[in-house]
Structure 1
């Protein structure tokens, strides 16, 4: 019991420290706005790659080693996503790639995963989630990127079963320096960026991979990891 109590206390202290740091940064960023009458949260810095982000919704994403079978805008929740059916070259492997790019300087991630769940239920009748776990993968630096450091992405990985099809699903918010399934992670990163008069653009990513009906989702992890790495690398090399 002592070790668990210590763990929870340390976890709470970490969360409190993160919140205090955020409040301090907000206060420091707010002083110039107070003096000039231009509040940072009313007029955030522009998103430099906003045009490229909006283009994703219209044309999808070009992925090395993958062929686009079809692509269209798809309303999911209150937003229009890019729905892209992709097929691996020289293989029968296919996947559905859903992308929600940032649509404006005030646009922020909120309940995208809930929206995808609702879309799945409306499209297939049911959307039952099981075998859910956290997942991680890394993206090796590209020749187009200035950094030589590998990029870490944290994501949600689970099985979604419908009456017609079972999917392995991988979800995260892609950002220039990695990815995370939590909107709060983006919020902290963007606040730190705004303090430097910059922004942290984002793209919601949801990958659906057909798998054996009601099978073990782990059998699809190698393919999910490979697609995830390819998608993150393509976004970092372009829109992010």
Structure 2
């Protein structure tokens, strides 16, 4: 029995070695690893560049101002998102992919430094996007922060609820590794995954809890991501 077990382990080891040898051969031949130094063109890159100038497409009654911003050395755009009824106006901040080599990086840290936030613990909010397949969802970072007084963009202290994610053509996720994995799979098929960093800011009253903002934040995420998805799909 011991001899049989040793033989089996030897066979498994041989298979593993052969598999690693094959994988190494593919890597050296350049047929497995995507070309990160000279990546292929990104579908929808023209749309992303336009978003950086004009923001995302929203109904005229939902937006009235688009403002270019420099955050963490990157070009962002800030866009008002007006309330439907009694809610306070929100702001959506967007960093669209600039070129085929541009990748998600430390965008959430850049925003935290830009606003000098005093931040509560971060939760995770999952939002289904209407009128899409069941797997089109947003998984966002979600938290309450406090804007300190007299920063370069905020002139009075206030509490805000914040939601952050990387938007794709078919959903989105707050973790940049999710984009890397999707883009890796796409490059193996000769394609790319366009992206943009999204940060939603909504002022809230002092006594509002994070859970109490879920409905309004969900509705705003659906509006924002719905526009992103349609704009990127138009260039597919």
The two structures have a TM-score, normalised by structure 1, of: 0.77
Can you list the C-alpha shifts for 1:167-198, whole angstroms capped at 9, x where unaligned? 00000001122111111110011000000000
Can you list the C-alpha shifts for 1:31-69, whole angstroms capped at 9, x where unaligned? 5537xxx97222211112101001111101122485213
Structure 2 residue 119 is matched with structure 1 residue 129: yes
Gaps of 5+ in 1: 1-22, 122-126, 143-147
User: Which segment drifts farther, 102-111 or 172-181?
Assistant: 172-181
Matched with 1:68 is: 63
Contact 1:131-1:217 at 8 Å conserved across structures: no
Structure 2 residue 179 is matched with structure 1 residue 192: no
Contact 2:88-2:204 at 8 Å conserved across structures: no
The Cα RMSD (Å) is: 2.6
Which structure has the highest strand share of the two? 1
Pick from 137, 157, 163: which aligns with 1:152?
137
- Partners of 1:28 and 1:70 lie apart in 2 by 54
Structure 2 residue 44 is matched with structure 1 residue 59: no
- Partners of 1:236 and 1:39 lie apart in 2 by 25
The 1:162–1:188 alpha-carbon spacing in structure 2 relative to 1, beyond 3 Å, is same
- Partners of 2:207 and 2:26 lie apart in 1 by 50
Can you list the C-alpha shifts for 1:113-137, whole angstroms capped at 9, x where unaligned? 000001101xxxxx11114211100
- Partners of 2:58 and 2:25 lie apart in 1 by 41
The 1:230–1:66 alpha-carbon spacing in structure 2 relative to 1, beyond 3 Å, is farther
Pick from 87, 96, 109: which aligns with 2:91?
96
Pick from 194, 197, 200: which aligns with 1:201?
194
Gaps of 5+ in 2: 1-19, 149-156
Structure 2 residue 80 is matched with structure 1 residue 85: yes
The two structures have a TM-score, normalised by structure 2, of: 0.79
Contact 1:156-1:171 at 8 Å conserved across structures: yes
- Distance apart, 1:219 and its partner CA: 1.8
